[in-house]
């Protein structure tokens, strides 16, 4: 849930400052990629190299939905801010790229953030 609030606040700030598509999406992905990389216990956790079925059972349904929605909100906001018509080919490449980024980088970020909070409480 924290990720959704952060994502909405991030999109509002990007909308106010009218930052272009690539920079909006890039800052978000690089920032969370660094967080995930720093706080991962194993190298395979950084890029989600494990089996999808195992990842899904480890991460859970609710976190999976919130992570997907937050990445989708940033994607849509960045697209709306820098609106440009895509051809079918560009749209397919964009959707494929979005799914790859979600599967191999962004999926599981909530667990890493939760581990940061748990380590600070100890």
The pLDDT, as a whole number, for residue 122 is 61
Q: Domain ranges in the chain?
A: 2-113
Could you read off the pLDDT of 8-67 as tens digits, one per residue? 998 898 888 888 777 888 888 888 888 888 887 777 777 888 788 888 888 888 888 998
pTM for the model stands at 0.80
- Answer positive or negative: Cα dihedral of 20, 7, 17, 84: positive
Closest by CA to 119, choosing from 50, 38, 7, 59, is: 38
Closest by CA to 98, choosing from 29, 24, 27, 13, is: 29
- Provide the Cα torsion 37, 34, 105, 11; round to 10°: 150
Could you read off the pLDDT of 72-108 as tens digits, one per residue? 998 888 777 777 777 888 888 888 988 998 988 888 8
pLDDT of 121 over the 80 cut: no
**pLDDT band at residue 69 under the 50/70/90 scheme:** very high
């Amino acid at each position: 849930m924290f990720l959704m609030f952060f994502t909405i606040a991030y999109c509002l700030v990007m909308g106010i400052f009218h930052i272009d598509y690539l920079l909006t999406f890039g800052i978000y992905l690089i920032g969370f990629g660094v967080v995930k990389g720093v706080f991962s216990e194993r190298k395979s956790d950084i890029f989600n190299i494990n089996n999808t079925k195992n990842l899904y059972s480890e991460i859970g349904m609710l976190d999976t939905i919130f992570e997907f929605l937050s990445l989708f909100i940033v994607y849509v906001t960045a697209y709306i801010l820098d609106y440009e018509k895509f051809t079918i080919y560009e749209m397919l490449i964009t959707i494929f790229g979005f799914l790859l980024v979600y599967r191999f980088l962004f999926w599981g970020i909530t667990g890493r953030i939760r581990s940061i909070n748990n380590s600070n409480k100890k």
